[in-house]
Amino acid sequence: MNYVDKLQKSPYKLTDSRLAVLKYLEKQKKPKTIKEIHKTIKEKRINLTSVYRTIKVFQKIGIVFEEHFLNQAYYYLDEKRHHHIVCSNCHYIECFPCDKEIKKPANFKNIHHKLVITGLCKKCAN
């Protein structure tokens, strides 16, 4: 998916700070916290508030998803949601796809689900 195109087709402008956050997230293989994102791109003179606002915009247009584990919010760029497994010892995070479709009850709309699994990674299990 071309995230830049999706952003340009949305009602939001493609600013330098949004592009910097987008490019950073495209390179990541694991979810990141707002502070991790900011720390890496701060040399581009983007303040922490701009990173928060940019992430919220990306969530509104459906290209960034939020997960909560290790008592923090983590964000990842993807075309669709997936799940995560977190090592309960070293906090290593790994992603895996979700192929489950949820039967939609008549009384609900915009249904989403979240699942975070914990365990020990190979390194910590040895």
Per-residue model confidence as pLDDT tens for the chain (126 residues) = 688 888 889 999 999 889 999 999 999 888 899 999 999 887 678 889 999 999 999 999 989 988 888 788 999 887 666 788 889 899 888 887 777 676 778 888 777 777 778 899 999 998
pTM over 0.75: yes
Q: What pLDDT sits at residue 25?
A: 93
**Could you give the residue range(s) of every CATH 1.10.10.10 domain in the chain?**
3-77
**3-77 belongs to CATH 1.10.10.10:** yes
Q: Using alpha carbons, list the distances in angstroms from residue 124 to 3, 38, 87, 95, 119.
A: 36, 29, 8, 18, 10
Parallel, antiparallel, or unpaired: how do β-strands 116-119 and 64-69 relate?
unpaired
Read off the pLDDT of residues 38-58 as tens digits, 9 standing for 90 and up.
998 876 788 899 999 999 999
Q: Give the CATH number of domain 82-125.
A: 3.30.1490.190
